[in-house]
Amino acid sequence: MRKKNLVKFISMVLALMVFSAANVFAAAGESDQVSVIYDPVSVTYDFNEGAVPGLFALPASNNARYGKMTFSEEVEGDRYLIFEDGNLNNKGQGRTDYSIQVCHAPMSIEYDFCIPEYTKTAAGDNIPAMILFITNYSSPGVKGTQGSGKTAMSLTCDKDENGDLKFSVVVSGAAIEGVFEDPLSFDTWYRVKIDAHAEKYQAVVSLYDSSGELIDKTGTITVANSTYSTDVTPDGFVGLSFATGSQTANVSAEEQSKIYIDNFTFTRERFSFSSKPAISQDGDEITASVVVRNEIAEETTAPALILALFDAKGKLVGISVNDSEPIAARTDPGLPTTTNVAWPNGFALPAEATVTCTLPKGDAALAVAYLWTDIGTSMQIYSSASEVLTIS
């Protein structure tokens, strides 16, 4: 191993010995918690430049064509986005869809929002909503489109019986009970965070006040239902839709609901994994391997694959580390300019690399492999550990 990595290597060995003593062979990666992002890549937009960022696509078909998006007037150097119904004769909600970058691994979406007080003419009428889509990136017969997108979850902003703002998380037509019980205030800024894992059809919603204090959060929500395609594996497409306006045609402009959005942050993992590390024995050799997918559009280095051997008493007797396997840049799939059409670069898979480690079995009785973020700084297990191999 390179001399400059010696200190890191020693630290990693000590940590592995602690893990082995605690019998930590089941890694944290098997948890269904979708909010853990170990090695994040983030982008934030505050909209002060007065331009729609390339992160978004503005569809021009279906309900989305009625959505109207404008910028607020600049107030002390700050601007925000305004969503409202752009067609007063629309018989459905005016909706503006945003396509979020494709990602197989966990991701989070955060933004500030404010709901101006609006006129509610009937039950269920004119209610602004922020709708999350989780779907597969390709659908049967329509490869590379977002035509298979389905509403996964709606964050609705209704008026309660006292005229206050009622914030609800709705899945399959029913609100999640036991959270967000207290009403919010109109014309007040809040921050919402949606942690999502598209391949698992899971989400967690957290709500904060303007000072960043947590108001409440859901548990892990499974958002799959019978409306989803089941004959293809989801490939990690996540979208947002901001729905405003009335369900009734020919309403006046004063009755249109609005949503204000600011400080939008999208965070995702750098890497995803087809499966946890595999480990095998061939004669006197023990080999670990894992396929790592690069989720970002630049060449990078895979997380550190560690193969560890233990004797019958649990003592660490052998170790091998691969911490320098390069992975090519992922082809940027671009963003669709409308719904139900092919993405600009087609179905762009992440770049992949197979990372391996090999050791002679020696006096070892057990072997296990881990993926760590690295071997020098955070040193966190990045995905599920391999199955424990009993060495013959």
| The pLDDT of residue 139 is above 50 | no
CA distance 81 to 72: 6
Per residue in 362-379, pLDDT (tens digit) is 989 999 998 988 777 777
Coarse DSSP helix, strand, coil percentages of the chain, rounded to the nearest 5 percent: 10, 40, 50
| The pLDDT of residue 189 is above 70 | yes
**pLDDT, averaged across the chain:** 76
Distances, alpha carbon 55 to alpha carbons 47, 66, 240, 264, 389, in Å = 12, 21, 12, 10, 44
What's the pLDDT at 272? 85
What's the pLDDT at 321? 92
| The pLDDT of residue 56 is above 60 | no
- Higher per-residue pLDDT: 183 or 131: 183
CA distance 347 to 143: 7
| The pLDDT of residue 149 is above 60 | no
What's the pLDDT at 327? 93
What's the pLDDT at 58? 43
- Higher per-residue pLDDT: 290 or 225: 290
- Lowest average pLDDT, out of 50-64, 145-159, 223-237, goes to 50-64
What's the pLDDT at 102? 65
- Residue 158 pLDDT level (bands cut at 50, 70, 90): very high
Nearest to 105 by CA among 216, 234, 225: 234
Per residue in 247-283, pLDDT (tens digit) is 665 555 556 789 999 998 888 888 888 788 999 999 9
User: Which DSSP helix (H) or strand (E) runs through 164?
Assistant: none
| The pLDDT of residue 91 is above 60 | no
Percentage above 70 pLDDT, the chain: 67
What's the pLDDT at 255? 64
SS3 131: strand
Per residue in 315-345, pLDDT (tens digit) is 899 999 998 889 998 876 555 444 444 445 4
160, burial (CB in 10 Å: exposed 0-12, middle 13-18, buried 19+):
exposed
The arithmetic mean of pLDDT across residues 212-235, rounded, is 71
What's the pLDDT at 151? 63
CA distance 322 to 326: 11
Give 30's Cβ-side CA count (13 Å radius). Answer: 11
- 175 forms beta bridges with 170
What's the pLDDT at 200? 77
The answer to whether 228 and 201 have CB atoms below 8 angstroms apart is yes
What's the pLDDT at 100? 63
The arithmetic mean of pLDDT across residues 229-250, rounded, is 63
- Residue 122 pLDDT level (bands cut at 50, 70, 90): confident
What's the pLDDT at 61? 42
Per residue in 1-41, pLDDT (tens digit) is 444 454 455 455 545 544 443 443 333 344 556 778 888 88
CA distance 134 to 100: 10
- Higher per-residue pLDDT: 347 or 150: 150
The answer to whether 83 and 242 have CB atoms below 8 angstroms apart is yes
